[in-house]
Structure formats: C-alpha cells, structure tokens
Amino acid sequence: MSHAAGHMAGRVASNTPVPTVYVVDELVVAPGRGREFLTSYLERYAPGARRRGLVLDRVLVSPPVWLDDQSNTLTVTWTVPGADAWWQQRWAAGRDPDVAAWWADADAALVSRRRTTSCALDDVAAVSDV
C-alpha cells in the first residue's frame, strides 16, 4: 500500500460533506453596556477564537437598538467544520489562560451568558460518530 493510500485508510471519502457545528454565545449585557461589550468581544475574544478554528458566522443584537436603561442580548454564532474541529478548539480554549481571563473580565459587564453547541438535524449522526 502506498503512503498516500495508507494515509487515506479509515477516512471518509473526500466528497462527503463535513457537517457544520454551531457554537452560539447568548450574552445578556448590563444596561447601557451593549455596544461597549460587543466591541471588546470582537477585539479581545474573537481573534483568539479564530486562531482556535472558529469562524464568525453572525452577530445579532436584540432588541435591534442599543439600550441605555435596559439590557441588550447579543447572540454571536460561530461555526466549525465537524465534531473533531469542535473538540480541538474546545481543548485549545481550555488550555489558553487568555480565554479564562477574558471571561473573568467580561462577566463584570454581563447579566448572564450561555453557550450552546448544535448542528443541523441531518448532521446529528455524523457529528455523533467521533
């Protein structure tokens, strides 16, 4: 068996699409701090997330106006190609002290935060096969 053939053994055929895994941060920001927090998130947190393999998909602001006397909810969606990439970025984040420091600082501006990970229904079987 050639080196290339051996390298491909056990791999999924290259024409099989890799499922997208979505990593969603739902961040409820203290009243009047939405714009400031989002700027910090994009300038301080996002570059490291990108280095870990996350791709910024979208940023949603709810309600769609910056509030001074109420909280804005920021929904930031990242994507990674498949379960392996999700685990790799998760492992890297857990070993990066800058990530923990970012969230420790960020919590001062947040009312609450939640991170969920999901994929399309049709991709559950492929993502579960790790």
Element holding 69 (H helix, E strand)? none
- pLDDT tier at 14, thresholds 50, 70, 90: low
pLDDT in tens, 61-95: 999 999 999 999 999 999 999 999 999 999 999 99
CA–CA dist 105, 76 (Å, integer): 18
Mean of pLDDT over the chain: 89
pTM: 0.84
Phi/psi at 77 (nearest 5 deg)?
A: -110, 125
- Residue 68 DSSP one-character state: S
Indicate the DSSP class of residue 11.
Answer: P
State residue 12's pLDDT score.
Answer: 47
**Distance of alpha carbon 112 from alpha carbon 52, whole angstroms:** 24
The model's confidence at residue 17, banded by pLDDT at 50, 70 and 90, is confident
Helix (H) or strand (E) holding 78: strand 72-81
Task: Please say if the pLDDT value at position 1 is more than 50.
Answer: no
Q: Is the dihedral of CA 64, 68, 69, 71 positive or negative?
A: positive
User: How would you label 3-17 residue by residue, b for 16+ Cβ within 10 Å and e otherwise?
Assistant: eeeeeeeeeeeeeee
